[in-house]
Amino acid sequence: MSIEEWSQGQLVVVDPLKYAKILFKKMEYFGAFSVLHALIEFWMQNLYELNTFKKIGPLKDYELRIAKARYRYRILINDLLKAKLINKGEAKSIDAFFLLRDRIGHHLVKYSYQTFFWHFVGKEEVIQGFDKGLALVNLLSARCNHRTSMAFVLRPTNS
């Protein structure tokens, strides 16, 4: 795991995808799924912004801050679907990952939920869910041509 400190004390994971895989191998499923969730949301946000910039040009700083305040995982799914940047099947897969991550987190924290058969999450479902999460990160990143809408680099430069 490589966490670095950037300017003003901000901590960042240098390679989030690698970090998620390390956590998963250690059976730290909640952490692994949380990292993938953040990456999926990150690429959905970038896809939405890149599409917006293409249509109307860059947003002013204050407009961008206001817009980002409403970015949430499920809102972004709907916005991308409306903009025809993802299809219904992809939207369903992205939402299914969200629900699985949520269930895993609750079940690891609150074991008593597992007494109901509809709350059970087995290891095979976790493995398949993680693989699907990786595929969603790759899909959304590719839709952005692996570019971000941000004006700064994703990783610190060692200069």
SS (H, E, C) the chain: CCEEECHHHCEEECCHHHHHHHHHHCCCHHHHHHHHHHHHHHHHHHHHHHHHHHHHCCCCHHHHHHHHHCCCHHHHHHHHHHCCCCCHHHHHHHHHHHHHHHHHHHHHHCHHHHHCHHHCCCHHHHHHHHHHHHHHHHHHHHHCCCCCCCCCCCCCCCC
Mean pLDDT by 10 residues, the chain (159 residues): 73 87 94 94 89 72 59 88 96 96 78 64 90 96 85 40
Give the per-residue pLDDT at 120: 74
